[in-house]
Amino acid sequence: MPRKRIRFAHAQTYTPSPLYQTLVRTQAVSVQSAQQVEATWKAARADRARADAGLMAARRQLDVIDSQRGQAQAALQQAQAEREQALLNIGYTELRAPVDGYVGNRRARVGAYAAVGSQLLSVVPAKGLWIDANFKEDQLAHMQVGQAVSIRADILPGREFHGHIESLAPATGAQFSVLPPENATGNFTKIVQRVPVRVRLDSVDADFGALRPGLSVVAQVNTRDAPQPSDVALASRP
């Protein structure tokens, strides 16, 4: 019901009917006029009752709509969470290598189930190879970071690769073993120790792709003294 009509019904409801009865007794108005006013007043009361009922129904409907709106928002949030979880689950089915390289030791097969923590394959990096050269301690006197290194590999006879010293280990290789040697008896026998020297390969060589982690190579560091050869093993960046 329009707001103006509701206000009119309220105004008519408070019309003083006893006043017309007094006017009838004093013959200021006719009986017919008083009856007409009385009927109009009762109709206004009925209109007000209907308006109040409509207002209460509208308020109840508004409460229902608010409740349905809250339920719809909760359902929307749940659907969004389920969608995000589904996208996350789909992402678990894709395996992406952290580096470019070659696949080796592949155990996974098409259609097989992959358990959590199982090893499916190995990825050998195609770039970022280095050499861990174990030089004798008496060969390190003139070695410095950045010096050029010549490398020969048995996989390519007669081919020479190039690199440079990236770092020298802060201790001998024996100190990094699981059980470092200890001299608890007091007897001492001098043994020449070897110190790991990290040599970074220069990837500009044309045959660089032929090198593989684990190959044996011979490295020579160009210092002022005579070149110092050392049998080393090829490694790759983890």
Based on the fold, state whether residues 219 and 133 are members of the same structural domain.
Answer: yes
Determine the Cα–Cα distance for residues 163 and 238; give it in Å rounded to an integer. 19
Give me the pLDDT at residue 14, please.
Answer: 47
Determine the Cα–Cα distance for residues 160 and 150; give it in Å rounded to an integer. 7
Determine the Cα–Cα distance for residues 213 and 177; give it in Å rounded to an integer. 21
pTM recorded for the entire structure: 0.50
Q: Where in the sequence is the domain holding 32, given as residue range(s)?
A: 3-89
Based on the fold, state whether residues 147 and 228 are members of the same structural domain.
Answer: yes
Based on the fold, state whether residues 133 and 212 are members of the same structural domain.
Answer: yes
CATH number at residue 206: 2.40.30.170
Closest listed residue to residue 212, CA positions, set 87, 77, 105, 57: 105
Q: How many domains does the chain have?
A: 3
Residue 201 φ/ψ, nearest 5 degrees: -80, 140
Give me the pLDDT at residue 9, please.
Answer: 47
Give me the pLDDT at residue 181, please.
Answer: 65
Give me the pLDDT at residue 1, please.
Answer: 47
Based on the fold, state whether residues 136 and 65 are members of the same structural domain.
Answer: no
Residue 202 φ/ψ, nearest 5 degrees: -85, 120
Based on the fold, state whether residues 32 and 85 are members of the same structural domain.
Answer: yes
Strands 148-153 and 160-168: antiparallel
Dihedral (C-alpha) 202, 142, 192, 155: value to the nearest 10 degrees? 20
Per-residue pLDDT of the chain in tens (238 residues, 90 and over written 9): 444 444 444 444 444 456 656 665 666 666 666 667 777 878 888 888 888 888 888 888 888 888 888 889 999 999 999 999 999 988 877 878 888 888 888 888 888 888 878 888 888 877 777 888 888 888 888 888 888 888 888 888 888 888 888 888 888 766 767 666 666 666 666 777 888 889 988 765 545 567 778 888 888 888 764 444 555 555 544 4
